[in-house]
Amino acid sequence: MSNSEAYEVPSYEGRQWWKEAVVYQVYPRSFNDANGDGIGDLKGITEKLPYLAKLGINVIWLSPVFDSPNVDNGYDISDYFAIMSDFGTMEDFDEMLETAHKHGIKILMDLVANHTSDEHPWFKESRSSKDNPYRDYYIWKDPKGFDEDGNPIPPNNWASEFGGPAWEWDEATGQFYLHIFFKEQPDLNWENEKVREDLYSMVRWWLDKGVDGFRLDAINIISKPEGFPDDPSTDFEKHTSSIPFVISNGTMVHPWMKELTRETFSRYDVMTVGETSATSPEDAKLWAGYHTGELNMIFHFDHMGVDNDPNGNLGGKWSYAPYKLTELKRILNDWQTTLEGNAWGSLYWNNHDQPRVVSRFGNDSDEFRTLSAKQLATTLHFMQGTPYIYQGEELGMTNVKFDSIEDYRDGDSIRFYEDMHVDHKRLSHEEAMQAIYVKGRDNARTPVQWDASANGGFSPEGVTPWIAVNPNYPTINAEAVLADEDSIFYHYQQLVALRRGKLKDLMVYA
């Protein structure tokens, strides 16, 4: 790696273009289907760039488009240098990037560097034998022992994010590998300098291509705790995860972030935002402090847990309790006051992993949906930090209520249903489906509703989209809001224009 002695740590104080940006997240699979195969694609994004320019945003955060078996909707990457065929080709990506830049819109890629797909060539080599040069690219451990039936016992009791043990037994080599997410997403070993060098080289390759920055997925869990201690909170029956309790914000995460910035981001004029669950406002000053030499900003999740029931019997997000407005205000205020003058923050109500904001924190009834969507938008955009709009948020899109588990596509929701209803009979079908309706990730992943035609204009008539369109698309769609000057869309447009224009000093820097 490069010599760090001559390296000048970047300062993030003062005026920065990424502080003044308004970001729009695109989840490609559900955005716009240009070729009529039921799946959103890169050409579909290019088609809608004039619409996004009309909204006024100037950055797109693009959820993963890398080649992937798609076990976790692209967050399981098998080739960092190729485009998933579902989305098109590298030429399609280049066209989208060039066209976006012509519209004054920058492109933020989604960097998944905690893990890869088990179909990635590195992992295929790694699991082929214990003496393979790529073995140490991933985290392999011997069993703790064997039970009375001769079954191997995992090295510790860590629970994966999606339920069940975070270790998978490999019969061929007689060891377990670590997967904090699905078993098809083995964790990379960041302790191995070669892993970091290969990742940094890949980041530079994309930046040289012209992308304008990265959102770093699950970046605060890359440093695992020394000795891999047990998690005292693990309860597999409650579908809990070990991330908040023992895995997040490990001892090496900040040295590695400084190294990553030195070797990549500091050489370009780019924007970076890290996904950092289980992170406090004080932690954020390390991650995104003006003089720490790490990231521009982070996503925290404190307000995303405000409707979790800590005493519930399901665990994590699945135990729901109506949120208290006073608690939501306290959390937002705590982050605003702690970061002020010390670090930059991000502002968001929802994303591809969260329920729709108007259904979650507002009122999605016909009477109050528009009013509450505008109120929530105003609240967000008048706080300090860089705001993120999730696709369809500006339309007032709502949660979706499917009747059958077969209608859902998110592996997390399907696994929850199978665990809680099918396997252990802890919940009735209706109870399990209600939990998924309230907190499931597919709420955010139904196709964008462009008009009142078949499939909401996402796919042509006669095509079956990869996931069903919300049935309310005849009344909630882009064509309808664009025809109504008092709509949610134009309220967002006005907020964006004020933030980027005559009220910039007040809304961004005050």
333-370 pLDDT per residue, tens: 999 999 999 999 999 999 999 999 999 999 999 999 99
Q: Computed over its alpha carbons, how large is the radius of gyration of the chain?
A: 22
The token duo for 289 is 């402090």
275: annotated active-site residue: yes
Q: How far apart are CA 503 and CA 510, in angstroms?
A: 10
Domain ranges within the chain, ordered by starting residue: 23-509
Q: How many C-alpha atoms does 493 have within 13 Å on its Cβ side?
A: 15
The Cβ of residue 149 has, within 10 Å, a number of other Cβ atoms equal to 5
Residue among 145, 32, 76, 35 at smallest CA distance from 391: 32
Indicate the SS3 state at residue 38: coil
Phi, psi of 509 (to 5 degrees): -110, -10
Residues 6+ apart with CB under 8 A from 285: 292, 338, 339, 342, 343
Instruction: Mark 459-494 as b/e (b = at least 16 C-beta within 10 Å).
Output: beeeeebbbbbbebbeebbbebbeeeeebbbbbbbe
pLDDT of the residue at 242: 86
Indicate the SS3 state at residue 60: strand
pLDDT of the residue at 240: 74
**Is the pLDDT reported for residue 121 higher than 70?**
yes
H or E segment and range at residue 478:
helix 478-482
* pLDDT level of residue 224 (50, 70, 90 thresholds): very high
Region 48-64 average pLDDT = 99
The token duo for 467 is 């996931």
**Is the pLDDT reported for residue 4 higher than 70?**
no
Secondary structure percentages of the chain, helix, strand, coil, to 5: 35, 15, 50
Long-range contacts, stretch 450-455, CB < 8 angstroms, 24+ apart: 450/32, 450/477, 450/478, 450/479, 451/477, 451/478, 451/479, 451/480, 452/477, 452/479, 452/480
Asked if residue 455 lies in contact with residue 428, where contact means CB atoms within 8 angstroms, the answer is: no
Region 243-270 average pLDDT = 96
- Catalytic option among 86, 161, 168, 217: 217
Asked if residue 139 lies in contact with residue 224, where contact means CB atoms within 8 angstroms, the answer is: yes
Could you read off the pLDDT of 387-437 as tens digits, one per residue? 999 999 999 999 999 999 999 999 999 999 999 999 989 999 999 999 999
Q: How far apart are CA 393 and CA 395, in angstroms?
A: 5
Could you read off the pLDDT of 157-178 as tens digits, one per residue? 999 999 899 999 999 999 999 9
Could you read off the pLDDT of 299-311 as tens digits, one per residue? 999 999 999 998 8
pLDDT of the residue at 312: 82
Q: How far apart are CA 497 and CA 349, in angstroms?
A: 19
List residues bridging with 109 in a β-sheet. 214
Indicate the SS3 state at residue 234: coil
The token duo for 213 is 């920055």
* pLDDT level of residue 5 (50, 70, 90 thresholds): low
Give one DSSP letter per residue of 430-470, joined into a string. HHHHHHHHHH-GGGGTSPP--SSSGGGGSS-TT---SSPPP
pLDDT of the residue at 207: 99
**Is the pLDDT reported for residue 48 higher than 90?**
yes
- Catalytic option among 275, 393, 410, 419: 275
pLDDT of the residue at 3: 62
CATH class of 23-509: alpha beta
